[in-house]
Amino acid sequence: MNKVELLAPAGSLEKLKTAILFGADAVYCGGLNFGLRAGADNFTVEELEEGIEFAHQRNKKVYMTLNMIPHNKELAQLPEYIDQIKKLNLDALIISDPGVFAAVKKEMPEMEVHISTQANNVNWASALFWADQGAERIILARELSREEIKEIIAKTKGRVELEYFVHGAMCISYSGRCLLSNYFVGRDANKGDCAQSCRWKYHLVEEKRPGEYYPVEENDQGTFIMNSRDLNLAEEIPELIDIGLSSLKIEGRMKSIHYAATVVNTYRQLIDQYYRDPENFKADPELLAELRKISHRDYTKGFYYGKPGAEGQRYESSSYLRSYDFMGVVREYDNSKREAVVEVRNKIFKGDELEFIVPGQKTFTVNASYLLDEEGAEIDSAPHPKQLIRIPLKIEVPAGSLLRRQKEN
């Protein structure tokens, strides 16, 4: 059978390379215009060229978002932007607006097009419509249950590939079609500049009683009535593969490289484990536990088993759960000295218990019994971001491996 694609977010060139090194089959990223993540680093043309070359050298793919919903003013800039895109060796464009779709198909008829989740694809008729227009893939809305997904797959009969989100942040609004941010602070979510107003704390106030705040829930400090939990379908991998999805997508272009490495590494190993022995597959608890070590909100299965109701929200707080700190990146391994050369991201102390995240492997812990600076002098701590240090490590690890440290209670 065709192996399902693992698709990872790439909010920057470093995140693109990290996702690919840790096992993504493809990544999706945004250029400087017409994407929906204005807060991400996004890519210059030069960075896109480098990222695409890096991916293609490893037989991986790069998809670029062109999924903004443009007004006339933005639309006028589209022809020039398409001219820039033509020069790139992209594998697909992700589009939501019919006008943008038509322009791309006219100017780049050979370009593969994926229809964004922003287009609210929740039924088989919509999927067939886009297939008739020439779309090669539909990114299904998060608001679909497994039974609905099965029906769409059955009705489309392989005419179009289907992609589905399996991990990451959930949006309170239908497939991201939200006006809250625009209303409150003038930042348009449909142009990539969402302020995440749904994560704020709210009170109820009656018009004629200003200053008298009423809790919406039984909590006199207010309530996070629109704060969605994070999606986690790692345990559903066997069914997600068996029902015929083409791509399993991870959300998080604005997340850290620690997030990208951990989530991609976990899903990569679970997917590969399933293909090796489908009949006896059982999700490894150690791998599932990895997804609790990244910064995340409480997890939910989203709409996969039907409408989630109250359990899909977290009413007490919008804060992230963070039990580990991202400490550094391995830049090289010195076999002769059995040391890892590490680029520091957070202050490392001599004696720290450091957990190594290595592509395709389970994590392991090493005691930093000594630290050496670039001159080879022993130091008690490495406080400076981007500082290069040496840490004793008996196990050889590839460049790009990451380090983290458990937070103290």
Domain boundaries, the chain: 5-174+227-312, 324-406
Give me the percent of the chain exceeding a pLDDT of 70: 83
- Which amino acid appears at position 351 of this protein? G
Higher model confidence: residue 228 or residue 241?
Answer: 241
Higher model confidence: residue 173 or residue 328?
Answer: 328
Residue 398 has pLDDT above 70, yes or no: yes
Mean pLDDT in residue range 334-361: 97
DSSP class of 1: -
Mean pLDDT in residue range 219-228: 55
Q: Give 47-68 pLDDT, tens digit per residue.
A: 999 999 999 999 999 999 998 8
Residue 218 has pLDDT above 50, yes or no: no
pTM for the model stands at 0.85
Mean pLDDT in residue range 141-146: 93
Mean pLDDT in residue range 197-208: 70
Q: Place domain 324-406 in its CATH homologous superfamily.
A: Translation factors (2.40.30.10)
Residue 266 has pLDDT above 80, yes or no: yes
d(CA 15, CA 19): 6
Q: Give 9-39 pLDDT, tens digit per residue.
A: 999 999 999 999 999 999 999 876 766 444 4
Burial 94-123 (b: 16+ CB within 10 A, else e): bbbbeebbebbbeebeebbbbbbbbbbbbb
Contacts 24+ apart (CB under 8 A), 375-383: 379/350, 380/349, 380/350, 381/347, 381/348, 381/349, 381/350, 382/344, 382/347, 382/348, 383/344, 383/347
Asked if 43 and 78 touch (Cβ cutoff 8 Å), the reply is no
Q: Are strands 353-357 and 299-300 parallel, antiparallel or unpaired?
A: unpaired
State residue 211's pLDDT score. Answer: 77
Residue 356 pairs in a beta bridge with 364, 403
Q: Place domain 5-174+227-312 in its CATH homologous superfamily.
A: Aldolase class I (3.20.20.70)
Mean pLDDT in residue range 211-216: 68
Asked if 366 and 350 touch (Cβ cutoff 8 Å), the reply is no
State residue 317's pLDDT score. Answer: 53
Higher model confidence: residue 317 or residue 368?
Answer: 368
State residue 203's pLDDT score. Answer: 67
Instruction: Give the residue from 78, 81, 60 showing the smallest Cα distance to 18.
Output: 60
Residue 319 has pLDDT above 60, yes or no: no
Residue 113 has pLDDT above 50, yes or no: yes
